[in-house]
Structure 1
């Protein structure tokens, strides 16, 4: 019987359970958050400086289904500057980003500027404060997931990402989870 988990990956953690790399010996891994069963795998990735919703399962088929380009992943990005409507429209239409040494044009996506700062847990490493310039929050929903894609997309329209939080995968939302929370669930597909 397969096991499934929803977790709020904290800032500063890798989306893996261990590494044999010497450079990563001092890194934080998912296994330090919870005693996951053998053969557990993260469904998709969040880079070390990103946080938020991460699914973990022992079911490779479910992982493949969720990673397919049919399941939406929604991110909240705090960006440097007051993102303009023109930049939002460019995100929605797709932008050129670098991927694997060449240019890649992202698929059209959903994007909008948030009216208020989202009620997210505070991050372990502080983001600069307003004395260093205005910031704004945007929602970006993708069905693809290239390496550091949201960060590259916001930078491509002139608003680099300062903080990135995945808040939804398909119908599963982060809700009121706190950084480091892990919840075992019956499954992911609803």
Structure 2
């Protein structure tokens, strides 16, 4: 079984919240997902979009192992207006504290038609923002956010729209479907 799930903003990519020292956070347990599936990869608490879940360990390994280099596609709202120098730096690979990233595919895109985020991204009249499509083959912790920050473009909103051939498609936040069985909504 392979589940495509549109992970909402501020939902953990696990079924329980192991942090007992603060307020409870939303988890995958609240979305009616099938029993015995687990995430194939991760998506940060404050990121949105496509999360794949499976009950097949070999498939999960193929989807997440860096040796297989599955291309992950993100739409990234950034603070500022990306120039060619910043895009070229992303395309060449960025130096992060844990070492250089692999080259990414990066391009400006028009603002995508997305669901509203709750809470919305803070709007400031004096600060411009723009959207990028960024494609990477790695999966380091908070990698896309760290890459855009390294070139002077802090991330405001991050939505994963594809992992390899698997697309988010029309799923709204909290909705999921079995890629083999067809649509289902929570």
Give the TM-score normalised by the residue count of structure 2: 0.91
* Cα-Cα RMSD: 1.5
Q: Using the alignment, how far apart are the partners of 1:165 and 1:85 within structure 2?
A: 22
Aligned-partner SS, 2:85: helix
Is 1:55 the counterpart of 2:40? The answer is no
Aligned partner of 1:157 among 144, 151, 157: 151
Aligned-partner SS, 1:13: coil
Stretches of 4+ aligned residues off by more than 2 angstroms: none
Deviation at 1:125, TM superposition (A): 1.1
| Contact 2:105 2:135 (8 Å CA) reproduced | yes
Q: Which runs of 5+ in 2 are unaligned?
A: 182-186
Is 1:64 the counterpart of 2:58? The answer is no
More deviation in 126-135 or 144-153? 126-135
Aligned partner of 2:135 among 128, 134, 141: 141
Q: Using the alignment, how far apart are the partners of 1:109 and 1:37 within structure 2?
A: 35
Deviation at 1:24, TM superposition (A): 6.0
Give the TM-score normalised by the residue count of structure 1: 0.89
Q: Which runs of 5+ in 1 are unaligned?
A: none
Q: Using the alignment, how far apart are the partners of 1:19 and 1:61 within structure 2?
A: 26
Aligned-partner SS, 1:31: helix
Q: Using the alignment, how far apart are the partners of 2:147 and 2:138 within structure 1?
A: 12
Deviation string, structure 1 residues 47-86 (Cα, Å, up to 9, x no partner)? 1100000001011110110112321000011000011111
Aligned residues between the structures = 179
| Contact 1:34 1:182 (8 Å CA) reproduced | no
Aligned-partner SS, 1:22: coil
Is 1:21 the counterpart of 2:16? The answer is no
Aligned-partner SS, 1:140: strand
